[in-house]
Chain A
Amino acid sequence: MTGGARGAGRLGLGLTLVVFVACLAISLAFGPASLPLDKLLEYIGAGPGTSEPGGVIFWQIRLPRVLLAFIVGAALAVAGVILQDLFLNPLTDPYVTGVSSGAALGATVGIVLGLAMLPWVTALALAGGFATLAVVWVAARRRGRIDIYVLLLAGVTISYLVTAVISVLMIRAGEDMSAIVYWLLGSFSGRGWEEVQVALLVLPIMVVPLFFTNEMDIMLQGEKRALELGVEVERAKRVLLIVAAALTAIAVSVSGVIGFVGLVVPHVVRLLVGPSHRRLLPIALLGGAALMGIADLLSRTLVAPAEVPVGVVTTFVGAPLFIYLLRRRRS
């Protein structure tokens, strides 16, 4: 790494931090209930115990929802970076590799069994996500090593299979069908501190890949090269896969299935700051959080007091941005 690149990386991280803080502030300042800015500071000063309507709106509804959107966005973006670079495939995201379908299946089973509340849904989503990962893993094992191409193919296949199982469950569920449909659409509506508490679990998990940035950088050049350089590829792969699965499953369990962030944010950040993971991971984390936060802000406010599904907004915000960056890079 040259000194110039390092400087650019530091600058990138600084800029991203500024954008992140700005997005957080905007998300907290605006919402369908119009709280005047000077009043808002008063409510914040009054602390979470206040029973004044404006204070309740800020502390009990807006703040937990904004935090949840930021945490889920960060988790999905980090999982996206890990999976894309592990599979050396630009189209990979948490939703292609079977992990999120598995988590979705777990939660769907929860709805059918009448366990659609925390912490059961999280436990079932984690179980579903890890169960899918285990199946894919076993399918891809050759003499103690994981073949990433087989892993990807098996992941995609299992993903389709699990989605089919969810469809069957939905038809069999009859009356629960609408609840499953809404859950699969993904949303931060109606979520509160309870969900935030569960989502906070992803914070320590997101730190883990930061210890593997060297391994990830080297693995980008292919496994053979990594082995030649003496990198413990298998151990890194195991840990990173488990991290990506856990991040995805926890995110899915609190917000349902929200697409696009995990796919696009890693690409956008890679286009901006390059593939080195020491920069890529933290910037993708902050960028994913900011994008999801702004997407949810739009979801809350565009047609207030009604709401637009957040997955629709992430796509509308993310797709043009992505296309623009791709074109800019080519020219």
Chain B
Amino acid sequence: MPTTRPRRLRRPPLVLASAVLAALLLAVLSGCGSASDSAGPSPSASAGPITVTDDAGKEVTLAAPAQRVVSLAPSNTETAFAIGAGAKLVAGTSYDDYPEEAKALPKIGDFSTPSVEKIVAFEPDLVLAAGGIQEALRDKLTGLGVAVYEVDPTSYDGVMEDLSELGRLMGVEGEAAAVVAAMEGAKADAAAKVSALDKPVTFIEIYSKPLMTAGSGSFIDDLVGLAGGTNLGASAGEGYPNFSTEVLVEQDPAVYVAMSGSMGEPGDLAKRSGFADLTAVQSDRVYVIEDNLIARPGPRLAVGLRKLAEMIHPEAFQTQ
């Protein structure tokens, strides 16, 4: 049985090239961490300009609630629909797949190569961007008089803050508050069930070749903590690092959660070289979770949190 905790290593300095490469990979994953402190004025708007602070720390001001919104990420589209502002979306990305209505939206292109021309052609008063590579778009769009809100949360709480801010910007504070309350509820429910229990070492597999995990400062790392686990991947640094298979076997996590979906299916772990003797495999503690439930910074994180908590602490949910 695993008794050793993963050592919290300071992040070692990377060579420049690998840092650039890592930044590129992060951008692909829409991960890139940044401050998610939003200290905007308290919500009391109904008339007058609305000012909020986005995840890049920039102030976003609208004279009136947005009526024509363009989303540049599937998670943003999902959020807009969840807080009852789906009707205000005039365009989304070609990857938008949830909810079903999102698929019918006009498309501005895919996530990594949104075209400024196409965005502006929809005459939006608000653009919902993601972090990383999309930051370069901000200057162009704001220069053309389009407000840009960057959604790039690094924690569960950060996602809830974004939901509230977007509710204000789009004039749907009530619905947004209800969704936030549901997310708060899921968090409190998980805390009530797991906070007193031990925190088993948990490994999150994002991809198998190369073996990739969620590092510290990612909201997946935050979710694992909220679900009552210790994230082994946090020892490999920030963002979404490749993880050593040798160290995985050495640390021998009690719980193994593999993501399925956009990066393919994890398959049978016992068939992989060296995996058959893992404690998680031997004790049948390998789980598969739909990636969109824990990898997308949106309202469905509440569902993802609940599922993760059930995987890490099945004993706490047996009587339910």
Contact = CB atoms under 8 A, between A and B. Distances in A.
Interface of A: 31-33, 51, 53, 56-57, 59-62, 64-65, 111, 114, 116-117, 171, 174-179, 181-183, 185, 187, 189-194, 300, 302-309, 312, 315-316
B269 to A, nearest CB: 11
Contacts of B174: none
B173 interface: no
A315 B267 CA distance: 33
Given A306-B241, A312-B21, A182 B277 contact: no
B249 A194 contact: no
**Chain A binding site: helix, strand, loop or mixed by DSSP?**
helix
29 contacts: A31-B244, A51-B277, A53-B250, A56-B249, A57-B249, A60-B274, A64-B273, A111-B264, A116-B264, A178-B29, A178-B207, A178-B262, A178-B263, A179-B264, A182-B210, A182-B212, A187-B242, A189-B244, A190-B210, A192-B272, A300-B246, A303-B18, A305-B235, A305-B236, A306-B237, A306-B242, A306-B244, A309-B18, A316-B15
Interface in B244-289: 244-247, 249-250, 252, 261-264, 267, 272-274, 277
B210 A57 contact: no
B263 A31 contact: no
Contacts of A305: 9, 235-236, 243-244, 247
A182 B209 contact: yes
B164 interface: no
B211 A189 contact: yes
A194 to B, nearest CB: 7
B94 interface: yes
Contact of A53 (B207, B264, B277): B277
A189 B250 contact: no
A61 B267 CA distance: 18
Interface string B201-218: 000000111111001000
Given A178-B207, A190-B211, A312-B18, A33 B236 contact: no
Q: What interface size band does chain B fall in?
A: 35 or more
A309 B19 CA distance: 11
Contacts, number: 131
B28 A181 contact: yes
Contact of B17 (A51, A177, A316): A316
Contacts of B211: 189-190
Interface of B: 9, 12, 14-15, 17-18, 21, 25, 28-29, 94-95, 110, 112-113, 207-212, 215, 235-237, 241-247, 249-250, 252, 261-264, 267, 272-274, 277
A255 B13 CA distance: 26
Given A179-B264, A182-B207, A307-B210, A174 B243 contact: no
Contacts of B247: 32-33, 304-305
B265 to A, nearest CB: 8
A303 B210 contact: no
Contact of A179 (B21, B207, B242, B243): B207
B244 A300 contact: yes
A303 B25 CA distance: 17
A206 B201 CA distance: 45
Contacts of B18: 303, 308-309, 312
A61 B14 contact: no
Contacts of A175: 95, 261-262
Given A178-B29, A306-B242, 10 more contacts: A53-B249, A57-B246, A61-B249, A189-B244, A300-B244, A303-B18, A304-B247, A306-B215, A307-B244, A309-B210
